[in-house]
Amino acid sequence: MRIEAMNSSQSTSFKIRRSLVRRCLAVALVCGAILTVPPSVTHAQMAQDVRDIFEGMLEHLDDDVRKKFQTAIDRDTTQVEFTPDQLRRFRDNPANPFDGLEKIKLKGRTAKVVLNFELPSMRNRRVGVHERQSPLILDGLRSSATSAAASTVEVFSKDRQVAMGAVIKSDGLVLTKLSEVENRPAIRVERAGISYRAKIFKKNKENDLAILKIKAKNLVVINWSEVTPKLGAFLLTVSPEREVLALGTYSVQPRSTREGEQAFLGVQPIVAVNGIRVTDIQPGSASHNAGIRDDDVIMEIAGKPTTDVASLVKVIREHRPGDQVMIEYQRNGVTQTTQATLAGRGLAGERAARFKMMNRLGAVPSRRDGDFPIVFQHDTPLFPEQCGGPMVDLDGQVVGLNIARKGRAASFALPAQHVKTLVDEMLREDVARRNVD
C-alpha cells in the first residue's frame, strides 16, 4: 500500500507497514494539499463496502466532519475533502479505523486536503490450499449442501447481490435479511437460473427478517432441523448451486446481543502460566464485587478451565446477566474460590466507537450486525450478501439462518427453531389481518 502526499511545491511518497489483519481494511489515500483534485481520482465511484464503513462512522464524528462523509455518501464518491483541522480531528477520533493518516504533512490552515478512500477486494483474495476455506476442502463437502441448496435463493437489488434467502412456501414466499433489502430498488430473487421480481410481504424488524413474495410455484420448502449443534461442530453456508460457500464452527451458544443483555465479568485478561491473569478490575463490576483484584489468576469459571483468553470469553458469553458463576483463582500462590453475579452492560462513548470500528478490520460487516434477541455465534468468514440464507451441519440439516457478519472472527445465525417460530407468527398475523378485513 502506498500513500502519496502532494502539494504545489513537492511530491513525496512512503510505504505503510502493518500486520496482515490490518491490511485487510487498509485504505489507499491520495492526498492533494492543493486547490484542485488530482485528475486520476475525480470520478471515484463508491463501492458498497466503503459506503458501509462511512455510514458506520457518522454517529461518532464531529458535526462538520460528519457532513464531509455524508456528502461523499450522497454524491456516491470515495473522495472526502478536509481542512487540515478537520483531518486532524478525524485522524484522532476513536471511530477512525484507517491507519497512515498521521503520515500526511499538514501545513497551513486554508489548504484543502483531498483523500480518496479505497478498500482492497477481500472477495478476490486468493485462498491457500491449506486454509479451511480452500476450494478443495469446500468441494469435498458438497454432498452436505444438496438438500438445503434446493431451497436456497440469491437476492438482488438491480444487478448486485445483496443477500441469500430460504424458500418457506412453495407458492413463492422467501425468507431473507430485512436490512439488506429494505429501501433498496428493484429487488429480485434468482433460483435455478430463473429471475423473479420480488416485493417485501412481511417484516420482523426485531430479528431483521423479511418475507419476500415472488410469482412462482412448486418451489422446494426449507426443512428446519430440531438439532442443536454442539460447540465446535462444523457448519456450512450453501448456495443454490449446491456449492459450499464457506466453512465455520459453532462457537457460542444462543444468546442475546442487545445492549445491556450481554454478560460481562469486568476484567482485562492476560495469559499466564496456570490460567488467566486479570488486570484493570472495574469498580462495581461483577469481578470487583466478587472480590477479584488486579493480578489474580483465574483458573476456572463455572467448572470450566480458563487456559487462554478465548476460553474465558467463551464461558462468560455462554451466560446471561444475573447468572451466578463460581470462580477458582490464585492470589499470591494461594488457590481460592468466589461466586460472581455476572452483570450486563454495553460499551459506551469513545471505547465503544473504537471497538466497533476496529472489529471491522479483516471483515466486511453487515449493515445491521447486532441487537438481536437471540443468535448463536460461529466463525464462518461471510460477506454481507451471503447472509439471509440457511446454515447446515455436516449431515445436511438446517440448523440456522445466517443473519449477520459481525467482525473479523464472528458471524451470527438465528437458531432454526427460533426462525420457524418467527415465520409461523409472521404468517399467522397476516392470516388474522385478512380475516378481520
Going residue by residue through the chain, which has 437 residues, state the pLDDT in tens, using 9 for 90 and above: 233 333 333 222 222 222 222 322 333 333 332 223 333 434 445 677 777 778 878 888 889 999 999 999 999 888 898 988 899 889 888 778 776 787 787 766 667 888 888 766 566 667 777 788 898 999 999 999 999 999 999 999 998 899 999 999 999 999 999 999 998 999 999 998 999 999 999 999 999 999 999 999 999 999 999 988 998 999 999 999 999 999 999 998 888 887 655 678 888 888 888 899 998 887 778 898 899 999 999 999 999 999 887 788 878 877 877 788 999 999 999 999 999 988 765 544 455 555 555 555 567 788 898 889 899 999 999 999 999 999 999 999 999 999 999 887 889 999 999 999 999 999 986 555 555 44
**pLDDT at res. 3:** 31
Residue 142 located in a structural domain:
yes
Residue 349 located in a structural domain:
no
**Last residue in a domain, options 343, 358, 374:** 343
**CATH at 269:** 2.30.42.10
**CATH at 384:** 2.40.10.120
Residue 127 located in a structural domain:
no
User: 21 with 151, same domain?
Assistant: no
Residue 359 located in a structural domain:
no
- Strand boundaries in 129-287, DSSP class E: 152-157, 160-169, 173-177, 187-191, 194-197, 199-204, 209-213, 234-238, 244-255, 263-264, 268-271, 276-279
**pLDDT at res. 61:** 87
Q: 229-241 b/e with 16+ CB inside 10 Å = b? A: beeebbbbbbbbe
**pLDDT at res. 258:** 74
User: 223 with 90, same domain?
Assistant: no
Residue 360 located in a structural domain:
no
CB 372 within 8 A of CB 401: no
Structural domain span for residue 323:
263-343
User: 12 with 96, same domain?
Assistant: yes
User: 313 with 416, same domain?
Assistant: no
Residue 130 located in a structural domain:
no
**pLDDT at res. 285:** 82
**Last residue in a domain, options 120, 150, 168:** 120
Residue 83 located in a structural domain:
yes
Distance CA 292, CA 328 (A): 10
Q: How many domains does the chain have?
A: 3
Residue 348 located in a structural domain:
no
Task: Tell me which H or E stretch contains 63.
Answer: helix 63-75
Distance CA 404, CA 406 (A): 6
User: 88 with 166, same domain?
Assistant: no
